[in-house]
Amino acid sequence: MILIWILLLTPVTTFVSTAIIIRIQKFSLDQVSAQNACFLAGLMNGSGILIVSLCLELKKGNHDPIAIASLILYVFAFMFCVNFLNWFIYALTETSMHIHIVALIGHYGSLSHDELYSLYNKNTIITVRIPRLLQLGQLKRKDEQLVLSGSWVLMGAIGCRILRRILGIPTRPELVKRES
Amino acid sequence: MALVLGLALFATCWFIHLIVWRIHRPQAYPIWLPAIFFVLPLLGAIVLNLYPIPLFQVKSLELDCVKGVLLHVMLSCSYICGYAGIIEYSPTAEILFVVDRHMPAGISERALNVDSLTECSLTGKRVDHLVAAGVTKLEEGRYALTQTGKFIACLSKKYRTFLGVAGIGEG
C-alpha cells in the first residue's frame, strides 16, 4: 500500500525536481537544458523509487527472484511513463506549434493573418529546432555541415512511422495530400 | 501479477484501438482514445463485478489489481499524449529524416529544405485546428483568443514560471 502512495506522488515529485534542477543549473557553469532537466529529474526519481520499492519488498521477506525482477520491470515501466509525461507537458509549452500560436496571440492581444505568419512560419519553425537538436546531441556541426550524432529522437520518429503504418495512417506528410 | 495485469489491460485496449482505427479512423480521436483506454476497462470491471470470478475474490490480489490498473492508466496516458506525435508530422522528425538522407556528408543549414512540410501544413493547419476547437476566433480579420484560449495561455505561462523558464516557448 505504501508503494502505491509513493507511485501516485512520483508525477508531482518529478515535476518539482525538474523545477529545482532548472533553477540550480542557472548558477552553474555547465548549463543543462530544460529538456535534459526533465530527463535528469526522471532518472533521479526513478532510481529513488526503485531503491525504496526493493527495500519494501525485501523487508516483507520476499526474496523470490521472479517477483523481484517483476517489481523492477514494473517500476521501470511506471517511471518511464512518469518521465515521458513530465517531459511531454514541458515540450507542449516549449515546442508545440498549437500552444505557441495561442501564446503569441495572447501576448499580442490579437494578430492579423500576415502578422501571425511573419512571426511564426515554416522558416522560423525549422530554424528554432536546429539549435534544440544540437543541444540535445541529435545533430552536430562538422565542417559547416549538419550531421546526425544522436539517434534516440530519430528512432522515436521511425517508431511513429511504424505505428502510423500499423494504424493505417499515411506515414509521411506528403502522402496525406495524395490521400485527400 | 501487477505488471502482467497492467500490460495485458493496456495491450487489450490497444488491440481494440487498432481494430477500430482499421475499420474507420475517427477524426475525434481525443474522445475515442480515452473511451477505449479508460471507459471500456471501467465498463469491463463493472460487468466482471456482476459475475463474481474466483480469481478476483482473492484478497491478496487486490493490491496487485490496484497496481496493475495504475500501470495501465500511466501507459494509456503516455500513449494518448504520444498519439499527437503519431497523427501530426513533427517538423523535428522531418528535419532529422532530411539530414539522415544526406549522411554521411551531411547538409548545410542553408540548404536544409524540408519539402515534406508546407506553410499550409504547419502554421495554417494549426490555426485551423485552434479555430475549430474554439480556442481562437477570427474577428474583423484578426485572430484573438476565446476564454478557453486565454485559460490555456495563462496556464502555460504559470506552468513555465513555476518551472523557472521563459514565459513563452520557442515554438
Q: What is the ipTM of this complex?
A: 0.86
Cα-based angle A35, A39, A44 (whole degrees, multiple of 5): 145
SS3 state of residue A32: coil
Contact B18 A18 (CB under 8 A): no
pLDDT at B71 over 90: yes
Contact A102, B167 (CB under 8 A): no
Q: Omega of the bond prior to B104 within 30 degrees of 0, cis? A: yes
Tell me the pLDDT of chain B averaged across its residues: 88
Task: Identify the residue among B95, B128, B130, B136 best suited for mutation to test binding to A, counting A beta carbons within 10 A and taking the highest.
Answer: B95
* Interface list for B 17-46 with A (CB within 8 A): 18, 21-22, 25
Consecutive H or E run containing A137:
none
- C-alpha A40: how far from chain center: 11
For A1-10, write each residue's pLDDT tens digit. 788 899 999 9
Using a CB-CB cut-off of 8 Å, the residues of chain A touching B169 are 93-96, 99-100, 103
pLDDT for residue A43? 93
Does the pTM exceed 0.90? Answer: no
Contact A173 B121 (CB under 8 A): yes
Q: Which of B91, B116, B145 sits opposite A129 (nearest CB)?
A: B91
Closest CA to A92 of B171, B163, B131, B119: B171
Contact A39, A21 (CB under 8 A): no
Which cell goes with B45?
Answer: 470491471
Report DSSP letters for A43-99, one per residue: HHHHHHHHHHHHHHHHHTT---HHHHHHHHHHHHHHHHHHHHHHHHHHHHHHT-HHH
SS3 state of residue B111: coil
CA distance A50 to A71: 9
Q: At what angle do helices A2-25 and B62-87 cross, to 10 degrees?
A: 40
Contact A172 B116 (CB under 8 A): yes
Contact A102 B149 (CB under 8 A): yes
pLDDT for residue A19? 93
Q: Are strands A145-148 and B107-108 parallel, antiparallel or unpaired?
A: antiparallel
Q: Which of A146, A148, A167 sits opposite B18 (nearest CB)?
A: A167
Interchain contact A128–B (C-beta under 8 A): yes
Contact A138, B92 (CB under 8 A): no
pLDDT for residue B112? 82
Q: Which of A4, A74, A111 sits opposite B143 (nearest CB)?
A: A111
pLDDT at B10 over 80: yes
pLDDT for residue B89? 83
CA distance B133 to B148: 9
pLDDT at B146 over 90: yes
pLDDT average, residue stretch A144-164:
88
Interchain contact B61–A (C-beta under 8 A): no
